[in-house]
């Protein structure tokens, strides 16, 4: 046996012990903060595939909602454009000729645009909320059914607190995406596209100068995506460990009282 082999054995044993400890705590590959690139690509692809399966029954409604949010953004952007028309055309006509017709037409158009914006936004939020809750119900049922089908060896190795975290924290993250993130993402995307097109049409030099900031925004967005994913993983792991301690302590409350473990469990929980 070579010296290299002898020196490598303790490291291998330490790695195995660490892996066993993490398995006992119910920490899988998804909870590692710095994932290898291949693992990150695999997990993202799996998440997108799951999201696609949840969206598939609502594909027709999603297509209509994309059209609704597009028209709603156009109605919202029509407001500043109509104000500009009023300043450039309606006010001079009123001051020079005393004609109120252009002002009335533009005011009516602004009311119509505002009403269209409000109605379409209400319809979008109402339908996305209903679709989102239906997707969450389907996801909760799938996760619960999957946990019920898992063998006993999994439940002996994977703590109940981790399972509860999957049923609560992870589902709540998807709930936040559907309730708030999706609306903000689509609104920002369509607004950037339409405002960029309008800028280029009205003032090409100014529009091109504005477009120069897009690469920097993309880099900042990429940096935020990577760091926020790591922060979310750390937060999820911490929340899961709190749930583990809480659930396991309550599950064995008789043993806790019998061995006077209340102060120690309180210290661990804190």
CATH code: domain of residue 71: 1.20.1560.10
Residues 180-208 have pLDDT tens digits of 777 777 878 888 888 888 888 888 888 88
155 & 197 share domain: yes
* Cα gap 192→221, rounded to integer Å: 15
More confident position, 120 or 188: 120
Flag the least confident range among 70-74, 94-98, 207-211, 264-268.
264-268
In this predicted structure, the answer to whether residue 12 has a pLDDT above a threshold of 90 is: no
Residues 79 and 172 in one domain: yes
18 or 180, greater pLDDT: 180
The reply to whether 202 and 247 lie within a common domain is no
Residue 258 has pLDDT above 70, yes or no: yes
> Which domain range does residue 263 map to?
213-270
What are the backbone dihedrals phi and psi of residue 183, each rounded to the nearest 5 degrees, phi first?
Answer: -60, -50
**Is the pLDDT reported for residue 107 higher than 70?**
yes
Tell me, yes or no, whether 13 lies in a domain. Answer: no
Based on the fold, state whether residues 56 and 105 are members of the same structural domain. Answer: yes
Domain boundary among 212, 232, 249: 212
Surface-to-core class of residue 215, CB atoms within 10 Å of its CB (0-12 exposed, 13-18 middle, 19+ buried)? exposed
**Per-residue confidence at 35, pLDDT binned at 50, 70, 90?**
low
d(CA 12, CA 5): 10
Question: Per residue in 70-80, is it b (16+ CB within 10 Å) or e — as a string?
Answer: eebbebbbbee
Q: What is the pLDDT of residue 120?
A: 92
Identify whether the C-beta of residue 109 lies closer than 8 Å to the C-beta of residue 83.
no
240 and 266 together in one domain: yes
């Amino acid at each position: 046996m070579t010296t290299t082999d002898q020196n490598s054995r303790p490291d291998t044993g330490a790695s195995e012990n660490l892996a066993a400890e993490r398995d006992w705590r119910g920490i899988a590959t998804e909870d590692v903060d710095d994932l290898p690139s291949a693992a990150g690509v695999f997990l993202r692809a799996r998440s997108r595939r799951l999201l696609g399966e949840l969206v598939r029954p609502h594909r027709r409604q999603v297509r209509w909602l994309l059209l609704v949010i597009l028209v709603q953004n156009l109605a919202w952007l029509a407001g500043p454009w109509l104000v500009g028309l009023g300043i450039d055309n309606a006010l001079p006509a009123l001051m020079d000729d005393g004609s109120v017709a252009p002002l009335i037409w533009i005011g009516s158009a602004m009311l119509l645009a505002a009403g269209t914006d409000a109605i379409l936004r209400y319809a979008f939020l109402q339908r996305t909320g209903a679709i989102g809750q239906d997707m969450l119900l389907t996801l909760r049922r799938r996760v619960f059914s999957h946990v019920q089908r898992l063998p006993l060896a999994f439940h002996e190795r994977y703590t109940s607190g981790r399972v509860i975290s999957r049923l609560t924290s992870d589902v709540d993250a998807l709930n936040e995406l559907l309730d708030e993130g999706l609306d903000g993402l689509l609104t920002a995307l369509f607004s950037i596209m339409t405002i960029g097109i309008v800028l280029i049409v009205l003032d090409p030099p100014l529009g091109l100068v504005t477009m120069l900031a897009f690469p920097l925004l993309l880099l900042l967005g990429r940096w935020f995506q990577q760091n926020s994913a790591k922060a979310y993983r750390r937060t999820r792991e911490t929340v899961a460990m709190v749930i583990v301690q809480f659930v396991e302590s309550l599950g064995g409350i008789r043993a806790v009282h019998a061995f006077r473990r209340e102060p120690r469990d309180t210290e661990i929980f804190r």
